[in-house]
């Protein structure tokens, strides 16, 4: 099933490159800033990922079982929770992602502010953030996609909302870093914030947290908390309980950003200040036994890590 013409037109207007039946790429703001030597993504500060070498992509641009109130997508146009058997191959998606990335970056060759060395290096992205939009686990060949990227010498950051624990459990090719979005401290809040399709959505998320705990010694694991004032930014001690359940290496406490279509559902006042995120993260740290080890103020994000590992963080090449 192809992306609907209405959604494709909308995404392309937002500078997405939509290709094949269900995949897309968009140049991240931080990739652009890095090429202009202005700034870089918090992932570079936290983990050593070089922003100009990152490809922000998705194999399932219009498939997701959740319609989160804070999502920047036009979730109302989602095609479904999981795609049918008519899908593109991992190799096709990867090749098209790189081609699309190059095309989207081509204008920078005429930009006098561009660092030409970085721009040339960016023609062959090394870090694939499988997280742009939609739910990657909706794509039936996610395991093969990760495996193919690793065969090509790429690193992978997989961000999932935890609604397909059966997919995570069967992954033979684990991503370089696995993210699960923990969007609420309790089921009632989860249903208001994530607006899931599945009736057992909360149980699915809990199962995914259990799976994260089981694989934590096999790959790097991260819980991401997207915090929205007035929605899910409460009960830090309950977040701490689920952090202990998942036992991730890292926890990212990140502010909801008032961008995209979320502006039709929320208000500017729902976006926390960095100091509010830091204060909330400190409460989580105290309740969970984790330690704040880094922060990036202009991204409104704080990084927590297990105390036993703090100070021994491994940076990517």
* Mean pLDDT (whole number) for 101-126: 91
Distance CA 195, CA 315 (A): 36
- For residues 212 and 159, what is the distance between their CA atoms, to the nearest angstrom? 12
Residue 308 CB contacts under 8 Å (≥ 6 apart), including other chains: none
Summarize the confidence of residues 220-226 as an average pLDDT: 95
**What domain count does the chain have?**
1
Q: Which domain holds residue 11?
A: 5-306
Q: What is the mean pLDDT of the segment spanning 288-314? A: 82
**Quick one: pLDDT band at residue 220, thresholds 50, 70, 90?**
very high
Position 89 in a domain: yes
Average pLDDT over residues 72-81: 70
Percentage, residues of the chain above pLDDT 90: 67
- The whole-angstrom separation of Cα 39 and Cα 57 is 21
What confidence score (pLDDT) does residue 79 get? 63
Query: What angle (nearest 5°) sits at the alpha carbon of residue 226, between those of residues 212 and 287?
Result: 65
Does residue 21 contact residue 41 with C-beta atoms inside 8 Å? Answer: no
Helices first, then strands: H and E counts in the chain = 11, 10
311 occurs within a structural domain: no
Confidence of residue 39 (pLDDT cuts 50, 70, 90): confident
Q: What's the sign of the alpha-carbon dihedral 302, 306, 53, 182?
A: negative
Q: Is the CB of residue 212 less than 8 Å from the CB of residue 242?
A: no
Residue 115 · residue 36 · CB < 8 Å: yes
26 domain residue, yes or no: yes
CATH number at residue 48: 3.20.20.70
Mean pLDDT, rounded, of the chain: 90
Reported confidence tier of residue 237, pLDDT bands at 50, 70, 90: very high
123-139 tens-digit pLDDT? 999 999 998 788 999 99
User: For residue 58, what are the β-bridge partners?
Assistant: 24
Point out which residues pair with 303 in neighbouring strands. Answer: 252, 294
Burial class (CB in 10 A: 0-12, 13-18, 19+), 78: buried
Asked if residue 197 is part of any domain, the answer here is yes
Please give the angle made by the CA atoms of 3, 4 and 6, to the nearest 5 degrees: 130
d(CA 112, CA 314): 35
Q: Is the pLDDT of residue 81 over 80?
A: no
State the pLDDT at residue 214: 94
198 within a domain of the structure (yes/no): yes
User: Looking at the domain assignment, is residue 316 inside a domain?
Assistant: no
**Does 227 map to a domain?**
yes
Average pLDDT of the segment spanning 219-223: 95
- Residue 77 CB: number of other CB atoms within 10 A? 15
Q: Is residue 315 part of a domain?
A: no
Task: Determine the pLDDT at residue 312.
Answer: 47
């Amino acid at each position: 099933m192809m992306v609907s013409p209405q959604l494709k037109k909308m995404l392309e207007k937002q500078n997405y490159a939509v290709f094949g039946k269900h995949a897309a790429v968009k140049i991240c703001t931080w990739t652009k800033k890095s090429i202009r030597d202005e700034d870089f993504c918090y992932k570079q500060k936290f983990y050593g990922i070089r922003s100009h070498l990152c490809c922000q992509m998705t194999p399932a641009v219009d498939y997701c079982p959740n319609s989160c109130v804070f999502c920047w997508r036009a979730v109302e146009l989602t095609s479904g929770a999981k795609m049918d058997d008519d899908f593109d191959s991992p190799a096709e998606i990867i090749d098209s992602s790189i081609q699309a990335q190059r095309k989207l970056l081509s204008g920078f060759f005429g930009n006098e502010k561009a660092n030409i060395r970085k721009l040339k290096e960016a023609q062959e992205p090394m870090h694939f953030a499988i997280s742009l939009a939609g739910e990657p686990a909706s794509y039936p060949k996610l395991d093969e996609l990760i495996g193919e990227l690793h065969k090509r010498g790429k690193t992978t950051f997989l961000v999932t909302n935890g609604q397909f624990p059966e997919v995570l459990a069967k992954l033979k090719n684990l991503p370089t870093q696995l993210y699960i979005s923990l969007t609420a401290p309790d089921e009632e809040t989860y249903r208001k914030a994530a607006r899931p399709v599945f009736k057992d959505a909360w149980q699915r998320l809990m199962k995914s947290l259990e799976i994260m705990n089981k694989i934590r010694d096999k790959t790097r694991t991260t819980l991401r908390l997207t915090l929205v004032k007035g929605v899910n930014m409460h009960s830090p001690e309950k977040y701490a309980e689920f952090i202990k359940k998942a036992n991730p290496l890292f926890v990212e406490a990140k502010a909801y950003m008032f961008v995209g279509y979320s502006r039709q559902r929320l208000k500017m006042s729902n976006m926390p200040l960095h100091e509010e995120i830091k204060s909330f993260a400190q409460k989580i740290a105290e309740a969970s036994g984790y330690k704040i080890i880094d922060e990036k103020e202009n991204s409104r994000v704080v990084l927590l890590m297990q105390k036993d590992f703090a100070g021994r963080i491994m940076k990517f090449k």
